[in-house]
Structure 1
C-alpha cells in the first residue's frame, strides 16, 4: 500500500476545510437557538451595539480565531502526538464557540467585528463594580487585544520546526489564553443574557484547565512562559 493510498480521507485539505465550515455552522445554529430560547423564556432584551453582550461576542470571536489559526498550524506541522492532540482540542473547542457567538450576532443584527477600538464594552460607566481591569484596558483602534500574537510572532512560529515550534506554540498559546481571561470574566460578571454568561463561564473553565496543562508541557520541555 502506498503512502498516498494509506493516508486517511479526513486528512485532505478539502475535507478539513469542510469540517471547519460544518463546525462553524453548527455553532451558529446552536448560538441562535440558545439565544432565542433565552430571549423568549426570560424576557431578556435584545442587546444593542456597544453592549457587553455584543462587544464580548465580537471581540472574543476575533481573539478565538487567532488561537484557531495557531492551533491549525501546530497540528499540521508538529510531530509530537501530545501537541497534535492539544492543538486539535483548542481548534475544535474554540471554533464551535466562534460559531455560537457569530450566531448571536446574526440574531441581534450586529456586525461580526467591532467597529473601532476593541474592548470598549468593558469600560461602560458604572460597569467595573470595583473590578481591577488590569490588562483589560481597551485597545486602540487597530491595536491588539491582550494575549494576541503580533504578525512578527506569527511569522516566527511559521519559521520553526521540531521542539522549537512546539515550545513557541505553547508559549504563545499560554499568553493568548491568559489575555482572553479578562474578557470572559467581565462578560460572565456583567452580561444580562444567561447564554452569554454560560459561554463565558465555559471559556474560563476550559481555558483555565488548558493553561495549567500548557505550563506542565512547557516545564517538561525545559521551557518557561514568555516574559
Structure 2
C-alpha cells in the first residue's frame, strides 16, 4: 500500500474510533440526563421523538460517511464529519434516555404517530407542525430514499457534493419539523432542550449548505 493509501486508511480508522467513543460517552450522558419523574410512557411524544430522531440521525450519519469517500473538498469533508459526530452523539443520548425510562427502543406503533396526535392545548394544527387529523406518513420528513443513496454512491467530486448537499438540506428541514413538533407537544426539560438545540444547529447548517451549494452551481 502506498504512503497516501496508508494515511487515508489511518484517518478513516481514527475517525471511526472517535465516533465510537462519542457514542459510548453519549449513552452515559443519556442515562445521566434522562430527566425527572414522572417518566415518559412508551406512546408519549418524548419516546416517539427519541426513537424516530435516532433513525433520522442514523441516515444523516450514513450520508455523511458516504460523501467523505467521494470528495476531496475540505469544506464538504469537515461538514460531513461534524454532522456524523454530532448526530451520532445525539442518537446515543436518545438511546440512553429510552433505556433509563425502561422503554423499548422499537416503537409499538408506526413511526411518526406521535407527530399526528392532538396538541396538549387541544389544537389540531399549529403553523409548521403536522395536522393531527392527517394520516401518518409512510416516511419520516426529509428522509432520502434508498435509491437516492445508491445514486449518491455512484458519483464523485462536485457531482457527489451537489447531491449530498441537496439531500442533507432536505434532511435537516425534516429534522427541524420533527424538533418543532416535539416542542409543541412536550415540556419535559431534557427532551425539549435537545430538540431546541437540534433545530437551531440544523438551521445554521442549512444556511452553510445553501452557500456551499451556490458555489457549486
Instruction: Give the TM-score of the pair, scaled to structure 1.
Output: 0.85
Q: CA deviation at 1:74?
A: 1.0
Residue 203 of structure 1 aligns to a residue in which SS? helix
- Write the distance in 2 (CA, Å) between the matches of 1:154 and 1:191: 33
Are 1:3 and 2:3 an aligned pair?
yes
Post-superposition Cα deviations, 1:155-204, rounded to whole Å, max 9, x if no partner, equal 10011111100000000000000111111012123223200000001001
Are 1:34 and 2:33 an aligned pair?
yes
- Write the distance in 2 (CA, Å) between the matches of 1:25 and 1:124: 33
Match of 1:67 in 2: 60
Q: Which of 197, 203, 212 does residue 207 from structure 2 map onto?
A: 212
Q: Is the contact made by 1:184 and 1:203 (CA closer than 8 Å) also made in structure 2?
A: yes
Bigger CA drift: 198-207 or 24-33?
24-33
Unpaired stretches in structure 1, ≥5 consecutive residues: 223-227
Q: Which of 105, 109, 112 does residue 102 from structure 2 map onto?
A: 109
Aligned residues between the structures: 212
Any residues of structure 2 matched to 1:1-227 within 5 Å, and which? Answer: 3=3, 7=7, 10-13=10-13, 15-35=14-34, 38-39=35-36, 44-127=37-120, 129=123, 130-132=125-127, 133-134=129-130, 139-140=136-137, 143-222=138-217
Unpaired stretches in structure 2, ≥5 consecutive residues: none
Post-superposition Cα deviations, 1:31-51, rounded to whole Å, max 9, x if no partner, equal 11112xx31xxxx31110110
Q: Is the contact made by 1:135 and 1:182 (CA closer than 8 Å) also made in structure 2?
A: no
Question: Aligned-residue CA RMSD in angstroms?
Answer: 2.2
